[in-house]
Structure 1
Amino acid sequence: MIRYIVRRLLQGVLTFFGATFVVYALMFANQNDPLQALAGERPISDNVRQALTERYHLNEPFIVQYGYYMRGLFQGDFGISLTGRPVADLLDRAWPVTAQLAVMAVVFAALIGVVAGVVAGIRRAGIFDNITLVITLVLISIPIVVLAPVLQLFLGVQLSLFPPTAGSSPSFYALMLPAIVLGAGSLATYSRLTRTSVVENLRADYVRTAKAKGLTRNRVIGVHVLRNSLIPVVTYIGVDLGSLMAGAIITEGVFNVPGVGSALFRGITTEDGPLVVGFVSVLVIVFILANLIVDLLYAVLDPRIRYE
């Protein structure tokens, strides 16, 4: 187990360097005039331009800029945004909000999706299974850019069940509606994955053996079928958690959530390289750790799996 973890961490280091290098290269290649993009239509004097260029090493070759960034990163310095604020301060403000939003979305989607998938798999081809199929297809087919303002209008404005916007310091209740919107697509995927896996496992030999030994139906489904059926779902949750944290740009924009998505969108539009690369670097770490935890959970769900 220890050797496996060490090997995965070493692979994660290579992944981290590769991902940050690609993102930094894309930001470097896309930079026309980040200083002017930051200032908008206001002119920048030559003295200010020269000082900012030297401060952010914009006159250096790309590989030198990347070297400066990685050296500061290993020292715990994420750099200075083009707005003059430390990227670490922006991370401290944005990440807790987005992490809470992503976790709420995953919990909401997993609880409802897994339960619906198990019931649909047990009652295959029944009324509940057909209704679940229609609902999941509708949720998957509607993009967030449409679903978010529609739910905001009906649930937030007309019915007043949730706050229509989160605000600068969102509470748990204020993040519930954005979490529902963000987790809607994942809910549909969890439900279909669980349903398919339950149907396959109900036909497996070990289920027939368990029934032949006299085990009750609830024990067969709750102990044997459910644990094996959750393996593909757990795999998807590990990847989906990082995706939700990275892909919340539209949701955070619609509901005015001051999180990672809003900061990344602002950084991309202003060509703020240090801000974008700093946030993406943390996202890469989240992806690596989430996938490692998912792989380790396999042994918990299925005792036959061993990492030697």
Structure 2
Amino acid sequence: MFRYIVRRLLQMVLTFFGATFVVFALVFANQDDPLQALAGERPITESQRLALTERYHLDEGFFTQYGYYMKGLLTGDFGESLTQRKIADLLADAWPTTARLALLALVIAAVIAISAGVFSALRRGGVFDNVTLVATLIILAMPIVVIAPLAQLVFGIQLGWFPPTSGADPSLWALFLPALVLASSVLATQLRVTRTSVAENLRSDYVRTARAKGLSYRRVVSVHVLRNSLIPVITLIGVDLGQLMAGAIVTEGVFNIPGVGFNLVRAIRTEDGPLVVGFVSVLVIVFLVVNLLVDLLYAALDPRIRYE
């Protein structure tokens, strides 16, 4: 296990440097005139342009700029945005909100997907199974850019069940509808994987052996079948984190949530390269750490798995 963790950590380091290099290169290639984009219609004096260009090394080459950024990042300094605000402060303000939104969405998706998937597998071919199949296909066919404003219009404005916008420092109730919308982007896939995994395990030899030994059907399902069936679902949840972060960009914009996605869109529009790379770098770290934890959960779910 120790060697496996060390190997994964080394892979994470390489992945982090590769991901930040690609993102930095894309931002560098897409820059036209970030200073003018930041100022909008207002003119920038030549002295201001020279001072800002020197401050953010905009007149130097790509590798030099990337070197400056990585030097600061490795020492814990994310630098400053083009608005002269520390990126670390912006991250500290935005991350708690996005973390609550993503965790709430993960919990909603996991609870609904596992519960409905297990019940569908136990009642294969029944009414509930067919209804969930149709519902998941509809959800998969609708992108989150359509679901988010539709849910806001119906449940937030017309019915008034939830706050239509969350605003600054939102409560869990204000985040519930955005989290439900965000969960819909991964819920359908998790449900179908759970249903397939449980149905496959129900036909396994160990289930027939457990039943022959006199164990109750409920105990066989809850202890043996569910534990083995959760392995692919846990894998999918770890991968879905990236999709949740991508969906948060749309969801936070629609529901006016000042999180990572909201700030990231604003930084892209203003061509604020340091802010874009800083936020994406943290997203990469979170994604790598979560996937490492998911891999380590395999051994807890299935003692037969050994990483040596």
Matched, 1:180 2:157: no
Q: Tell me the alpha carbon deviations over residues 178-217 of structure 1, each in whole angstroms, 9 at most, x when there is no partner.
A: 0000001211111101000011111111111111111110
Once the two structures are TM-superposed, the CA of residue 283 in structure 1 deviates from its matched residue by: 0.7
Structure 1: distance between partners of 2:12 and 2:146: 36
After superposition, the CA RMSD in angstroms is 0.9
**Correspondence for 1:154:** 154
The aligned runs of 1:99-248 (5 Å cut-off) are: 99-248=99-248
Query: Which amino acid in 2 is paired with 1:157?
Result: I
Q: Tell me the alpha carbon deviations over residues 229-259 of structure 1, each in whole angstroms, 9 at most, x when there is no partner.
A: 1111100111212331243111111100000
Q: Tell me the alpha carbon deviations over residues 9-39 of structure 1, each in whole angstroms, 9 at most, x when there is no partner.
A: 0110000000000100111111111111111
Query: Which amino acid in 1 is paired with 2:221?
Result: I
Query: Which amino acid in 1 is paired with 2:252?
Result: E
Task: Please report the TM-score for the alignment, with normalisation by the length of structure 2.
Answer: 0.98
Query: Which amino acid in 2 is paired with 1:168?
Result: A
**Correspondence for 2:89:** 89
CA contact (8 A) 1:37 1:270 kept: yes
Once the two structures are TM-superposed, the CA of residue 103 in structure 1 deviates from its matched residue by: 0.5
CA contact (8 A) 1:101 1:179 kept: yes
CA contact (8 A) 1:98 1:259 kept: yes
The aligned runs of 1:246-265 (5 Å cut-off) are: 246-265=246-265
Structure 1: distance between partners of 2:285 and 2:198: 32
**Correspondence for 2:49:** 49
Structure 2: distance between partners of 1:128 and 1:279: 42
Q: Tell me the number of residue pairs that the alignment of Structure 1 and Structure 2 aligns.
A: 308
Segments of 4+ moved more than 2 angstroms: none
The aligned runs of 1:4-23 (5 Å cut-off) are: 4-23=4-23
Once the two structures are TM-superposed, the CA of residue 80 in structure 1 deviates from its matched residue by: 0.5
In structure 1, the gaps of 5 or more residues are none
CA contact (8 A) 1:99 1:245 kept: no
Percent of pairs with identical residues? 70
CA contact (8 A) 1:103 1:241 kept: no
Query: Which amino acid in 2 is paired with 1:30?
Result: N
Structure 2: distance between partners of 1:239 and 1:82: 32
**Correspondence for 2:72:** 72
CA contact (8 A) 1:246 1:260 kept: no
**Correspondence for 2:301:** 301
3-state SS of paired residue (2:174): coil
Once the two structures are TM-superposed, the CA of residue 285 in structure 1 deviates from its matched residue by: 0.5
CA contact (8 A) 1:242 1:286 kept: no
Query: Which amino acid in 2 is paired with 1:196?
Result: T
In structure 2, the gaps of 5 or more residues are none
Q: Tell me the alpha carbon deviations over residues 75-99 of structure 1, each in whole angstroms, 9 at most, x when there is no partner.
A: 1110100011011111001111111
